[in-house]
């Protein structure tokens, strides 16, 4: 972290920082860097990371959701309800969820639609509830 900070360069954390491993000192270090984007992952729906994401967001100086992305793994040991819980929670906490579909060829149409709805920022922000989302070919 010190080396990143000392370079003065813009940093883009694209690999998905493990939110479970961050503490206040880590967040302070991140706050001292010039960060372009930061990415996390919330893969396991049975691991409720709501409090970790909430405390990170409160302490982290970047508030723009477009610069804080969280990969959300779907179609792998999760229900649509668990997927939506993670997506809505992240959005409400000021992050941009990004749906990653495990084994996409075998994914249901619902999961593929979930990915399209969530990963299209225009759709996601204009249709805040997935149950209200209708693809053109569905109409």
pLDDT in tens, 40-55: 999 999 999 999 999 9
Work out how many domains the chain is built from and give that number: 1
Band (pLDDT 50/70/90 cuts) for residue 139 is: very low
Q: How many CA atoms lie within 13 A of 10 on its CB side?
A: 4
Q: Tell me whether residue 77 is in a domain.
A: yes
Per the domain annotation, does 13 fall within a domain?
yes
d(CA 91, CA 57): 11
Kindly report, residue by residue over 97-130, the tens digit of the pLDDT.
999 999 999 999 999 999 999 999 999 999 999 9
**Residue 102 · residue 73 · CB < 8 Å:** yes
Over the stretch 60-93, which tens digit does the pLDDT of each residue have?
A: 999 999 999 999 999 999 999 999 999 999 999 9
Residue 116 lies in domain: 2-129
138 inside domain: no
pLDDT at 137 over 80: no
Q: How far is Cα 124 from Cα 14, in angstroms, rounded to an integer?
A: 21
pTM over 0.85: yes
Domain annotation covers residue 73? yes
Would you say residue 134 lies in a domain?
A: no
136 belongs to a structural domain: no
- Report the pLDDT value the prediction gives residue 100, as an integer from 0 to 100: 98
């Amino acid at each position: 972290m010190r080396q990143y900070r000392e370079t003065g360069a813009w940093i883009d954390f694209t690999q998905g920082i493990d939110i479970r491993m961050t503490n206040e000192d880590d967040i302070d270090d991140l706050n001292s860097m010039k960060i372009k984007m930061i990415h996390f992952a919330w893969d396991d729906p049975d691991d409720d990371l709501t409090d970790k994401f909430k405390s990170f967001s409160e302490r982290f100086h970047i508030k723009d959701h477009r610069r804080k992305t969280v990969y959300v793994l779907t179609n792998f040991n999760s229900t649509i309800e668990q997927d939506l819980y993670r997506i809505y929670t992240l959005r409400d906490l000021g992050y941009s969820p990004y749906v990653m579909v495990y084994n996409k060829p075998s994914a249901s149409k619902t999961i593929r639609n979930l990915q399209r709805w969530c990963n299209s920022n225009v759709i996601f922000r204009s249709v805040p509830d997935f149950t209200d989302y209708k693809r053109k070919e569905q109409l």
